[in-house]
Amino acid sequence: MADKKVLIVYAHQSTGSFNAAAKDMAETVLTTQGCKVEVSDLYAMKFKASATAEDITGEVKDAEHFQYGEETMLAWKEGRLSADITEEHRKLSEAEVVIFQFPMYWFTVPAIMKGWMDRVLTLGFAYTSEKRYSQGIFKDKKAMLSFTTGSHESMFSANGINGDMNVTLWPLQNGILHYCGFQVLAPQIFWAPPHITSEARESMLEAWRTRLQGLLGEMPLTFTPSDSFDGGRGFQLKEDVQQKLAANEFGLSVGIHLGKPLRPNSQIKAGV
């Protein structure tokens, strides 16, 4: 753990919130273990959420048909991205572990954190069409989601009114983190802190403290390797891979399930 660099991307408006306590806990425990921890406190920074041409200094290549990804990739190569993006690039480049700490809003991250992802995970810097998923640019880095919910765990179960949390997490963990190559650690989910006792909240924070002490040694979640897909067939699962999986009870993952039942907790626990 010593000398490891950790970036916490934090999104909550209140210093007295449970999310603030979870963020402070991570910063304290990891620093105590010798990590260098940086925090991007997005609300305190007044971080701009919208991805616009203002993120580029100087002229854009095609103002009439502006394409954010292509324009920012060119600006990144030429050193013309806005200063706030460049600073987050620095933090992300140096970090070996990234923790996203946030309250779940509408089954996803708050807008200000989505804006961080939209703007900081720049095409070319964070991914390309050749360097993504298991061959991604950040394949030597680890990342995880740590978040609070407004609903109890039972409501996010396979039988619950909100639906399976594994399905909710797939776009975030596979479509953003794994897409950029991150090794994705199992999420830290704080279930419904506003609706439980203060003792239960303290217990959740204590469990987080315990986990943090061994966090960097954890195994990541499992995602299907990129070489299992045939680029010449529209990146479909290769026929020989499908044949090997034909007798399996479950599909590969939440998104790549082959029409089979979903493997339980594949987005919540490692090794399943």
State pLDDT tens for residues 235-272.
Answer: 999 999 999 988 899 989 999 998 999 989 999 998 77
Helix (H) or strand (E) holding 69: helix 68-78
b/e per residue 208-217 (b: at least 16 CB within 10 A): beebbeebbe
Residue 2 is predicted with a pLDDT of 65
Amino acid symbol at 103: P
- Tens of pLDDT along 158-216? 999 999 999 999 999 999 999 999 999 999 999 999 999 999 999 999 999 999 999 99
What gap in Å lies between CA 29 and CA 249, rounded to an integer?
41
Q: CA 35 → CA 3, 22, 55, 89, 213, distances in Å?
A: 5, 17, 31, 19, 11
| CATH 3.40.50.360, applies to 5-219 | yes
Q: Is 230 helix (H, G, I), strand (E, B) or coil?
A: strand
Claim: this prediction has a pTM higher than 0.85: yes
What's the CA dihedral at 194, 215, 262, 102 to 10 degrees?
30
Q: Is residue 95 scored above 70 in pLDDT? A: yes
- Mean per-residue pLDDT for 10-30? 97
Listed by start position, the domains of the chain span: 5-219
Q: Is residue 14 scored above 80 in pLDDT? A: yes
Residue 231 is predicted with a pLDDT of 85
Q: Is residue 1 scored above 80 in pLDDT? A: no
